[in-house]
């Protein structure tokens, strides 16, 4: 569904070279405030454990310069659930913690997703992926080879 949502904002383009200083809060003022009220970006966890996104984007410990809680959102109940997820290896219990923590973040509206691209992930032994040194930032289909 596409439509107006009643948000008005001034959009300021920043240089790619400056993105990480904004994203990770390295240019906060003396009170710890970042120089924006909204920041458009995307996040992909670099490992399969769901805590990768939850802790990185939402945990209070990640509101300091160098970390990626861009909303500077803090919630002690959320933090406690994520912290408890590290205390067990029971996957079903961890999923319960993640679901409950996600509900807290959604209820508090820590982030407002304005756009979510559709993605398809496929796994096959018919292909080999040999990433180039810059593949994390510059994904290329030439890094895939068909196995014979």
Listed ranges 11-15, 123-127, 129-133, 141-145; the one with the highest mean pLDDT = 11-15
Under the phi-then-psi rule, with left for phi > 0, alpha for psi from -120 to 50, and beta for the rest, what region is 112? beta
CB 60 within 8 A of CB 79: yes
DSSP code for 137: T
pLDDT for 81 equals 97
Mind listing the pLDDT tens digit for each residue in 5-61? 787 778 878 887 887 777 776 777 888 777 777 766 666 666 677 787 888 889 999
The angle, 0 to 180 degrees and rounded to 10, between the axes of the packed helices 91-108 and 51-58 is 30
Angle 23-27-30 (CA atoms, 0-180°, nearest 5)?
Answer: 135
Highest mean pLDDT among 54-68, 90-104, 108-122: 90-104
* Structural tokens at position 60: 């209070």
Domain 16-117 CATH assignment equals 3.10.105.10: yes
The answer on pLDDT for 119 being more than 80 is no
- DSSP H or E segment with residue 146: strand 144-146
Give the per-residue pLDDT at 59.
93
Neighbours of 85 (CB within 10 A): 21
Residues facing residue 146 across a β-bridge: 127
Rounded CA-CA distance 47/4 in Å is 35
Interatomic CA distance for residues 50 and 55, integer angstroms:
9
Question: How many angstroms separate the CA atoms of 93 and 65, rounded?
Answer: 32
């Amino acid at each position: 569904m596409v439509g107006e949502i009643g948000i008005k904002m001034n959009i300021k383009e920043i240089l790619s070279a400056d993105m990480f200083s904004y994203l990770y809060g390295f240019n906060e003022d003396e009170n710890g405030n970042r120089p924006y009220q909204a920041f458009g970006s995307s996040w992909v966890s670099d490992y399969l454990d769901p805590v990768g996104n939850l802790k990185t984007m939402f945990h209070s410990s990640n509101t300091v310069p160098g970390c990626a809680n861009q909303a500077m959102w803090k919630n002690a109940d959320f933090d406690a659930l994520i912290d408890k997820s590290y205390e067990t290896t029971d996957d079903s219990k961890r999923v319960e913690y993640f679901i409950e923590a996600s509900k807290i973040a959604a209820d508090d509206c820590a982030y407002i997703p304005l756009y979510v691209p559709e993605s398809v992930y496929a796994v096959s032994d018919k292909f080999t992926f040999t990433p180039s040194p810059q593949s994390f930032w510059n994904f290329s289909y030439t890094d895939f080879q068909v196995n014979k």
